[in-house]
Amino acid sequence: MTLNTKEKIFYTALDLFSKKGFSGVSIREITREVGIKESSLYNHFANKDEILESILTYFRSDFSKTLPPIEMLDAILQKSTVEEFLKAGHRNFKQFMEDENRVKMWRILQIEQFRSPLAREVILEDLFKTTIHFLEIVFQKLIDLNKIRPYNPKTLAIEYQYPVFSLLTEYTILKFDGKDTSEVETRLDNHIDFFLEIVTIK
Amino acid sequence: MTLNTKEKIFYTALDLFSKKGFSGVSIREITREVGIKESSLYNHFANKDEILESILTYFRSDFSKTLPPIEMLDAILQKSTVEEFLKAGHRNFKQFMEDENRVKMWRILQIEQFRSPLAREVILEDLFKTTIHFLEIVFQKLIDLNKIRPYNPKTLAIEYQYPVFSLLTEYTILKFDGKDTSEVETRLDNHIDFFLEIVTIK
DNA sequence: ATTATACGCTAACGTTCGTTAGTTTTAAAT
DNA sequence: ATTTAAAACTAACGAACGTTAGCGTATAAT
């Protein structure tokens, strides 16, 4: 786990940007932390913007690996109950967000969303759109399998996922102050239970 | 509607902070826009931080006026259907957010949430907690009136409100780029309809 | 052994930053 | 008409900003 200089710059910038925002962090601050002179940073990144860009791009490709590929869905959905499937997804996502670097990237997205068109694109396309599209397919398949009630699959996707996003916002803020997050986690469990109660055919 | 200098500074800072973030805006930029010298600004605000503080404080008191007082609830709830009540709340909130200054304040909250403890407090306490608490009381009363099904009122509050927060996040980003928001607005309507379908006693 | 490349360094560039001291103008109160 | 207070101004402070030019050295390829 020894990092080369470029990686050190990357993770130091990730940490600082996520606390103070891009404009609130100077090249000097980053290089001081890394232990090199300001000028040396430019051997690794063309300029300050490129550091942020590399962070956002990294998050993009990282996040794209979290959802299972759609061609594997049929196999998965047939052999598990709705409850098992949703709770497994929940565990996956929780695990994904337990990596503190991912939490930092999430924070940067929030902070930079109005300064960086790329950040906005990642939020709208990669987080919202991709997730909702994936879930829409899942729920359509579950309806076809007669495992859940035939509500509009897109509505179901939104009803399921959007509370999760808000809970994540709350979770991230609490975590930032080192506060207790157990209540938010309970709420997330309650949300999943409530959703299951609504859609399950009894 | 003619503004004095202090108000001009306030609204100029509001606009710039909401686009570039607190650290991304300089005193020179604000005063240039207002049409005064940098030093003159200090006749109205002690320092840069105090400008942001005044914006957050203003939002706080402004937002606190949006929810109807709890002592008026019984009267309102008895003479209207659940649907009327929720849709009226929706209209109120929409109207509240049509004021572009409020959208700017919302953006600042997002941008500054990890730099400013006050911003975090406003998000957690004033936006999340207060809203959920209000809705919890509403749903409890509706259950007592036998107007909705007896789910856990807090769960209902979250199921109702948290998708709204996420939709608002999406809405704000789309608005920022001048993109079409009609789909998000439709989704919000769908969400309310879905929620009504779930909780209404038929 | 020589050459090339990667990557650190020193030093500095011109600009901008938040803020202050001190002074003049403006307009209302006496 | 004089006093007073608010709010504008000029000028500047030291510090920090992102970035560049140029140089030294270590390592790896020829």
Three-state SS for B200? strand
CB-closest option in B155, B158, B173 to A124: B173
Place B202 in a pLDDT band, splitting at 50, 70 and 90. Answer: confident
What integer pLDDT is reported at residue B10 of this predicted model? 98
What integer pLDDT is reported at residue A1 of this predicted model? 66
Using CB atoms within 10 A of its CB, is residue A43 exposed (0-12), middle (13-18) or buried (19+)? Answer: exposed
Q: Does A187 touch chain B (CB under 8 A)?
A: yes
Task: At A140, list the tokens.
Answer: 């359509």
Task: Say if residue A2's pLDDT is above 90.
Answer: no
Size of interface A-B (CB pairs under 8 A): 120
Q: Does A92 touch chain B (CB under 8 A)?
A: no
Q: Mean pLDDT score of chain A, rounded to an integer?
A: 96
For the segment 10-49 of chain B, residues whose CB is within 7 A of strand D = 35-40, 43-44
Instruction: Write the CB contacts of A70 (distance below 8 Å, at least 6 apart in sequence).
Output: A134, A137
Task: Say if residue B169's pLDDT is above 70.
Answer: yes
Question: On chain C, which bases lie within 7 A of the protein's CB atoms?
Answer: 6-12, 16-22
Nucleotide nearest to A24 (CA to C1'): D17
The predicted-structure confidence for B14-54, as pLDDT tens digits, reads as follows 999 999 999 999 999 999 999 999 999 999 999 999 999 99
Å between A10 CA and D23 C1'?
A: 27
Place B59 in a pLDDT band, splitting at 50, 70 and 90. Answer: very high
Contact A16, A30 (CB under 8 A): yes
Three-state SS for B106? helix
What integer pLDDT is reported at residue A178 of this predicted model? 96
Place B1 in a pLDDT band, splitting at 50, 70 and 90. Answer: low
Nucleotide nearest to A37 (CA to C1'): C9
Rounded mean pLDDT of B115-137?
A: 97
Q: In angstroms, rounded to a whole number, what is the distance separating the alpha carbons of residues A18 and A106?
A: 8
Contact B174, B180 (CB under 8 A): yes
Alpha-carbon torsion (A148, A151, A152, A155), positive or negative = negative
Alpha-carbon torsion (B88, B94, B97, B98), positive or negative = negative
Task: Say if residue B122's pLDDT is above 90.
Answer: yes
Residue A70: DSSP 8-state? G
pLDDT above 70 covers a percentage of chain B that reads 100
Burial B161-174 (b: 16+ CB within 10 A, else e): bbbbbbbbbbbbbb
- State the amino acid at position B81 in one-letter form: T
Name the residue closest to the C1' of D20 by its CA.
A39
Å between A41 CA and C9 C1'?
A: 12
Rounded mean pLDDT of A37-47?
A: 98
Task: Say if residue B97's pLDDT is above 90.
Answer: no
Place B13 in a pLDDT band, splitting at 50, 70 and 90. Answer: very high
Rounded mean pLDDT of A22-47?
A: 98
Please state whether strand D lies within 7 Å of residue A50 at its CB atom: no
